[in-house]
A and B are shown apart, each in its own frame.
Chain A
């Protein structure tokens, strides 16, 4: 099966500019996650969708970050305006559901953001 697709792979922007990342999950996966991974740290969950509804966005900095999953398939994560500390890899993952602790996540390769 095709994996989780993410684009762009790399993005360099100036601070205060905006950026958007796109994710296409595995076909049929109802749950989609966005993680932020700062260099040297483990990934941190930003937002979790179940179909097109938000399950958890408690760690999303809502003053500058937004995410949507229209039609319950693709998702977009936007940062506006970007800060230097937003430099990180943004990882998208998907799973078949979230109703059991046995669900396995499949991750994309990530989008690396550098803010200058």
Chain B
């Protein structure tokens, strides 16, 4: 299985941008890059996904390196409600969503 590597934790100040990195050096051509987040006492929540091009939605932006070996989830203005564990996951056709340890984001007021 293609693996991802994320920092265990990161800190951010409220209302500042946050860049959450993810390394996936063994990614293959058909792997989609997914990001989910899990708020305390809740199930994981879909954030964004992409294949090759950068993606934007109302929650975040996903920047994918040209060689696709890394990606960055960008929260443009962190709020206290963005404090969560963020998971970067590779997914291909038919496979399960395999979670790693994720990055715990702490947001300081």
Which residues of A are in contact with B by a Cβ distance under 8 Å? 4, 33, 35, 41-45, 48, 55-56, 91, 93, 98-110
| Chief secondary structure at chain A's binding surface | loop
Docked CA distance A102–B32 (Å): 6
Q: Is the CB of B92 within 8 A of A42?
A: no
A50 nearest in chain B by CB position: B94
B68 touches A (CB below 8 Å): no
Q: Is the CB of B93 within 8 A of A45?
A: no
Interface residue tally for chain B (C-beta within 8 Å): 26
B21 touches A (CB below 8 Å): no
A99 nearest in chain B by CB position: B93
A/B interface sample: 29 pairs, CB < 8 A: A33-B96, A33-B97, A35-B99, A42-B99, A42-B100, A43-B99, A45-B97, A45-B98, A56-B96, A91-B43, A91-B44, A93-B43, A93-B44, A93-B97, A99-B94, A101-B30, A101-B32, A101-B51, A102-B32, A102-B51, A102-B91, A103-B91, A104-B46, A104-B49, A105-B36, A105-B44, A105-B46, A106-B46, A109-B42
Which residues of B are in contact with A by a Cβ distance under 8 Å? 30-32, 34, 36, 42-46, 49, 51, 85, 87, 91-102
CB distance from A112 to the nearest CB of B (A): 9
Docked CA distance A91–B94 (Å): 20
CB distance from A7 to the nearest CB of B (A): 14
Q: Is the CB of B99 within 8 A of A105?
A: no
In the assembled complex, which residues on chain B have CB atoms less than 8 Å from the CB atom of A45?
Answer: 96-98
Give the 7 A-B residue pairs with the shortest CB-CB distance, closest first. Answer: A107-B43, A42-B99, A101-B32, A101-B92, A101-B91, A45-B96, A43-B99
Docked CA distance A98–B100 (Å): 20
